[in-house]
């Protein structure tokens, strides 16, 4: 029996090398997903279902014929501690390619330790990155009546984390909303329906680094 000899062309060789050296990640999932882990600002508190900024993100992805889908795991009143507790199971179940972390405001409103808030956020970021996901952190700010030092340090922790962990950041999620009383509900805390398009634009603008991935087929 004659021994067969196989010859590899350059194209086939490149395909094999690609499979060997490029790790399989969640970017190549059959059903790529975006996980939103937030509080009432993302959970449509006080709004009609399907009118929040997360829904607007879903609609934009559908409009662009993106294969990516959004899973909103936001809960009103959520803290960074609560988010950290829930995240492992969410990562396991949803296997997201992008994790959006919109947490910390409730920590500040309760006067919790800034060190603890930063530590919880960092652990969520690291956990998400280890799962293969990219992370978008939502920068938050609080009113100055909590004290100038606490307010400044709270604002700074988000940009510091983004820089240290090399992740994308929305400098201030409520940009364009926070200074407009007409964009808040009666409680003067939660953005109203009219504000959601502004919040969506803040998020969408910060997703520019993911644009090619979101529009590519899995």
Residue 45: its H or E element = none
Burial class (CB in 10 A: 0-12, 13-18, 19+), 142: middle
Q: Is 190 a catalytic residue?
A: yes
Q: Among residues 81, 119, 159, 190, which one is catalytic?
A: 190
The encoded tokens of residue 105 equal 């405001």
The β-bridge partners of 2 are none
Spatial strand order of the sheet with 168-170 comes to 69-72, 33-38, 98-102, 134-138, 168-170
**CA pair distance 216, 65, nearest whole angstrom:** 9
Maximum Cα–Cα distance across the chain:
88
Catalytic residue, chosen from 26, 33, 40, 131, is 40
Catalytic annotation, residues: 40, 187, 190
């Amino acid at each position: 029996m004659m021994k067969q000899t196989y010859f590899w062309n350059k194209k086939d060789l490149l395909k094999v090398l690609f499979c060997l050296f490029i790790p399989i990640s969640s970017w190549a999932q059959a059903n790529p997903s975006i996980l939103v882990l937030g509080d009432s600002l993302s959970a449509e508190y006080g709004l009609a279902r399907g009118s929040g900024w997360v829904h607007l993100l879903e609609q934009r992805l559908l409009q662009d014929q993106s294969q990516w889908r959004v899973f909103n795991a936001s809960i009103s009143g959520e803290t960074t501690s609560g988010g950290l507790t829930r995240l492992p199971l969410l990562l396991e179940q949803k296997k997201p390619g992008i994790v959006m972390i919109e947490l910390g405001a409730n920590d500040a409103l309760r006067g919790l330790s800034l060190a603890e808030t930063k530590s919880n956020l960092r652990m969520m970021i690291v956990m998400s990155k280890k799962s293969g996901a990219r992370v978008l952190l939502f920068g938050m700010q609080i009113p100055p009546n909590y004290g100038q030092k606490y307010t400044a340090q709270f604002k700074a922790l988000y940009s510091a984390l983004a820089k240290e962990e090399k992740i994308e950041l929305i400098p201030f999620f409520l940009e364009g909303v926070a200074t407009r009383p007409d964009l808040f509900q009666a409680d003067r805390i939660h953005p109203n329906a009219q504000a959601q398009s502004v919040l969506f634009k803040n998020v969408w603008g910060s997703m520019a680094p993911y644009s090619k991935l979101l529009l590519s087929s899995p």
